[in-house]
Structure 1
């Protein structure tokens, strides 16, 4: 679970909630990893941000904090 959340956080930091075009621009992309990251980002966005998107992400000692564009935020334990 920690690995999945780390990948989700990395996807948010590096690419936000972008389309699959990101994978096509990378050299030798592993499509499954990219798809998984995008699916996790999309799920978090839909569940916690009501589809409005993320504004920022912070990694803390015991959890990750995501802030939605509408100002609300949520934490996910590591």
Structure 2
């Protein structure tokens, strides 16, 4: 779970990349995994950040904290 959220954060920060570009740049890409991670990231961005994007990500003891570019933040339990 930790690796997935870290990957989601990285995907969110690379807002200019499409899922196809990301998959093609990886060795032996699994398109389904890449699409799934980007879809989750896009869903979080749309739901919590109103599509404005993420500014930062922090891992805490019991949850992950995402901060939107407009200053709003939300937590996801581990």
TM-score range, shorter chain: 0.7 to 0.9
Runs of 4 or more, structure 1, over 3 Å off, are none
Whether the aligned pair in 1 keeps the contact of 2:55 and 2:69 (CA below 8 Å) is yes
Cα separation, 2, equivalents of 1:15 and 1:51: 11
Per the alignment, residue 73 of structure 2 pairs with 73
Whether 1:7 and 2:1 are equivalent positions in the alignment is no
Structure 2 residues without counterparts, runs of 5 or longer:
none
Cα separation, 2, equivalents of 1:76 and 1:59: 10
Structure 1 residues without counterparts, runs of 5 or longer:
none
Q: Cα RMSD between the aligned structures?
A: 1.7
SS of structure 1 residue aligned to 2:45: helix
